[in-house]
Amino acid sequence: MTKVFEKSPAFFDTFTRKPAMQKTTHYCPGCGHGTLHKIIADLVAELGIQDQTIIVGPVGCGVFIYYYFESASVSAPHGRASAVATGVSRANPDSVTISYQGDGDLAAIGTSNAIHAANRGENMIVFFVNNNIYGMTGGQLAPTTLIDQVSTTSPSGRSVLNEGYPLRMAEMIAGLEAPVLSARVAVNSPKNVRQAIKVIRKGLEIQRDKKGYAFVEVLSQCPTNWKKDPKEACDWIDEVVCQQYPLGVLKDLIEERAPQQRKCERVEFDAIAEQLNLTTSDDNGKEQIELLQDELRFKFAGFGGQGILSLGMMFSQLSMERHMEVTWLPSYGPEMRGGVANCSVVVSKNAIGSPVVDHPNVLVALNRPSLEKFGPLVPQDGLIIYNSSLIDQIPDDLQGKVYALPATDLASTAGTVKAANVIVLGFIAQKTGMFKLDDLESFLTNTFKKPALLEINRKAVQAGWRAAEQI
Ligand code: SF4
């Protein structure tokens, strides 16, 4: 075992989350997460399973676990780590799969996922970090909050009549038939850490030997939200928390259980395509596009409702039909409520490294905020097409070649302002030489089934094309 003060070999040498945090973690001083990370990392290294280990991280204070462990890792949506770990474990039967979850993640939003994974006896170890509170979001009551414990949402203390009893997950899991191990440990004192190491070693050995499901609940101090200093928080676990959450091994069938291996069949793409009635043939008689560069990175941006995402999709689909590598990445979030909605599209002759577009070769800005936001990011040899119907002022710091395209006015003349995105489609196709007008028209014919709509969009694409020839 690595010495207590040595950095575990299963950790990265430097943690790259933030430049100022390369040697330390993001956890608060005195937090139990760091101690638990160290125990797991030391044991993973000691058991020689680092290359097999895949960690599934939660939403919560442990969300950045992938910055610390030099293992494969996957981030799961909130509460879904046990479900994601199920997929990871089944698709990689030789892996040692770790699901790392807090009490909000596992015992609130993810209870059903957690219980069913345990009940199926998946080959995984689950670390359930119980600090009796929602840590990351500021100390709200969790299913694990102690009776009478004060939280930001239970200012008079948890009341059994109001919020029910604390959920004892380790006992619940121990009551199921499938799990091999269920235990509760703590990381608040040297004595408890020694006991935790023993139990966690056992849980990881179960994984190494493929014997099934192990659950380790870890009582962990959260000095920040408990409003205690680190020493008081550690003492509080012994004096108060352990009274409601007794430590101990609640179930241990490690000697009785034989290794279990689930069948993992690799399904070929052709078989899936056949099931879905999809053609697997790539040959549609069309040739690859000639691009201005081997890879073009587009950013389409505007108000939600201007057809920005559809514009990106049309470009992607047209490019795919021409056997190009393509990614399409929409951006949602608050931007959908009146600000800048955008999507990134990469079209390449080769495999694409990342779908993220920071410095677009081609920017389409259909409103002013998007031109202000993304315009300065376009390099000198890039193209900026902005909607001059709605933008009357352009930033001073643009470097790329700028085209003013009255997209909304042209669309209105074609029949509806909603066709501004198709105006842009015709404009870019002509300016970049990626598609011929005939290609665009036959694409629209296949896309719009209603004759009236098709007519408007055909007029729009022609108007965009003509505008590009004239500017
Ligand atoms: S809020 Fe609590 S659980 Fe989260 S990092 Fe800080 S001390 Fe740890």
**Ligand 1 atom nearest residue 102's Cα:** 3
| Domains in the chain: boundaries | 19-252, 295-470
Summarised one tens digit per residue, pLDDT across range 352-365 is 999 999 999 999 99
What spacing in Å lies between the alpha carbon of 454 and ligand 1's midpoint?
57
**Average pLDDT estimate for 154-159:** 96
Summarised one tens digit per residue, pLDDT across range 160-169 is 999 999 999 9
pLDDT band, residue 282 (cuts 50/70/90): low
**Ligand 1 pocket residue status of 223, Cβ below 6 Å:** yes
**Average pLDDT estimate for 413-420:** 94
pLDDT value at 334 more than 70? no
pLDDT value at 2 more than 80? no
**Average pLDDT estimate for 375-392:** 94
Q: What is the value of pTM for the model shown? A: 0.68
**Ligand 1 pocket residue status of 222, Cβ below 6 Å:** yes
Q: Say which CATH architecture domain 19-252 belongs to.
A: 3-Layer(aba) Sandwich (3.40)
| Residue 271: per-residue pLDDT | 83
What spacing in Å lies between the alpha carbon of 32 and ligand 1's midpoint?
8
Summarised one tens digit per residue, pLDDT across range 286-331 is 777 776 678 999 999 998 778 899 999 999 999 998 889 999 998 8
What spacing in Å lies between the alpha carbon of 61 and ligand 1's midpoint?
6
**Average pLDDT estimate for 131-138:** 93
**Ligand 1 pocket residue status of 328, Cβ below 6 Å:** no
| Residue 335: per-residue pLDDT | 41
| Residue 375: per-residue pLDDT | 95
CATH of segment(s) 295-470: 3.40.920.10
Backbone angle region of 81, left / alpha / beta, with phi > 0 → left and psi within -120 to 50 → alpha: alpha
* Residues 23 and 15: beta-carbon distance below 8 Å: yes
| Residue 280: per-residue pLDDT | 59
Summarised one tens digit per residue, pLDDT across range 203-216 is 999 999 999 999 99
What spacing in Å lies between the alpha carbon of 134 and ligand 1's midpoint?
9
**Average pLDDT estimate for 432-442:** 93
